[in-house]
Chains A and B, each alone.
Chain A
Amino acid sequence: MSQWVVLAVNSVSLGGLLFLLSAGFSLIFGLMRIPNLTHGSLFMLGAYVGVTGLRLGLDFWSAALLSGLAMAVLGGAMERLLLRRLQGQELPQVLLTLGLSFIVADLCLMEWTGDPISVSTPATLRGFVPVLGFVFPVYRLAIVLIAAAIAAALWLMLDRTRLGAMIRAGVDDPAIARVMGIPVSRLFTAVFCLGAGLAGFAGMLGAPILSVYPGLDGEMLPLALIVVILGGSGSLPGALVGSFVIGVLYNFGPALFPELAYVVLFLPMLLVLVLRPQGLFGRQTP
C-alpha cells in the first residue's frame, strides 16, 4: 500500500518539475512554431551550473536562481544570434536546436565529467512531514508548491499583463499580431529566455531527486515533447494536465509494466494524435 503512496507522491512532484520544463517548451512552440530540441539540454546544463554554484559556496536557492538566470541568458543568446538568422524557416531552426543539443551535451561531459553528481536536499526542506496518516518527503511537496506558484504566476502574466496578451496574440495568429504592431521578434527573444530560464531552474530544482548526469537531457526532452503534444502547444492548462499525466505514467508505468514502461508513457500521446491532433487543450493542428 505504502508503495503506491510513494509512487503517487513521486508522480506529483515529477509532474511539477515537468510542468516547469514543458511550460517553456509549450510557449516557445506555440509562439515560434519550433519544438526547441535544446530544451532537455538546458534543463541539464542548468542543473550542472547549479552544482558549480553550490561548489562555489552558494546556498541551494541562490544556485537554483543562478541556474535559471544563466539558462535565460544562454537562451536569449541562442535566439538572437542563431535562430533569428533563420527567421521564418522552421525546419532549419529545429535542426539548429538539435545540433546545439549535441554540442551542449558534450561540453557538459567535458566540464563536469561522466560521473553522476548527487545534490543534497536543501537543509530547510529535509525530512518528512506527516499528512493524513502518511509521511511525505518535505522536499517533494515543496516542489509541487513551487511549481504551483510559478504556474499561477505564469497564468497571471499571460492573462493580465500586456506581455501576456501579446504572447497570446502571437500564439493565436503571428501574422496578424505583426500587422497589429506587436514586436514579434522581441517577443520571441523574451519567450525563449523565459522558457530556457524555467528549464534551467527546473533542472536545479530537480537535482536532489534526479541527480545530474550525462543523458539527463535525453531523458527529459521526450517527456516535454509528450506533454506538449498531449496538452496542446501554447496551452498552459494543457502543459499542467499533461505534466501530471506523464508524471503518473512515468512512476507507475515501470511498477506495473516493467518491460513496456516506455511504451505506456507514450500511449496517451499516440491516442491524442489519432483522435485529436491539436492536443487536449490546443488550438492549432501541429
Chain B
Amino acid sequence: MIALEARALSKSFGGLRVSADVSLAVEAGERRLIIGPNGAGKTTLFNLITGELRPDSGSVHLLGRDITSVPSRRRAHLGLARTYQIITLFPRDTLLHNVMLALLGLSPLRWNPVVELASCSALRQRALDALARVGLEGSADQPLAETTYGERRRVEIAMALAQRPAVLLLDEPFAGLSIPERQQVLNLLLAIPRDTTIVMIEHDMDVALEFAERITLLHFGAVIVEGTRRDVVDDPRTREVYLGA
C-alpha cells in the first residue's frame, strides 16, 4: 500500500524552478531518505506535501486520497505530521504544554473556552506518555526556553508522534545536534513502529544512511536517482551531483 505519493509536482518562483516534475511513492511503513545538495528543493518538496506551498501542477496523495486541494491545516487531521529544519516551538511554555498543544490540534477540545486545560487529566497523561517516549518526562514542567537544543528536537519529535501520524516528515532532524544527541535521536527514530511511514531529509550521511531503506536524490528540483541504499550510493550520478560534473 502506498502511504504517500507525489505525482509530477512542479513549482516555480518567477523564473526559478524549485520543483521540476517530482514524482515519488513511499510504501506504508517504509523509511525513505531524501538527499541532495543545498538548494535541491528538498524542503520545498516537503512544503508542497504539507500544503504550505501550492504546486503549479501535479498532485499529492496521502493513503490513496488526493489531498492536493486540502488546506494545510486539515492535513494533520488526515495523518500527516512534520518537523522543521529550524525548531519553532513555544519557548515560553513548558515541555508538557508544548506536547499538549500538539495533542489538542487534533481534538475538538481545542475549541472549548470554558473548561480548565490544566484539569484535562487524560490529555495531560497522553502528553506525559509522549514525553516519556523521548525520555523527557522528567522535565515536563520545565519551560522550553531552558532546555538544550537536543532536548527541543526530541520534544518536537514527541509532538509529531503524539499526533499518531500515518506519515511523518522529518526535515533535517539531526542538524545542530552533538554526536551523543544524534545517537539518542537515531535510536528514537529507529524505535518508531511500522504503522508510521517516515520520510526524512538529511545532510548528515553517517546517521541518515543507518536509518534509510530507500533513498531519493534530488538536484535542481528534480529526482535524479532513486532506489535502495546500495543502488543510490553506488550510482555514478550520485557522485556527480555531490562532487560536480
- Chains A and B in contact, CB within 8 Å: no
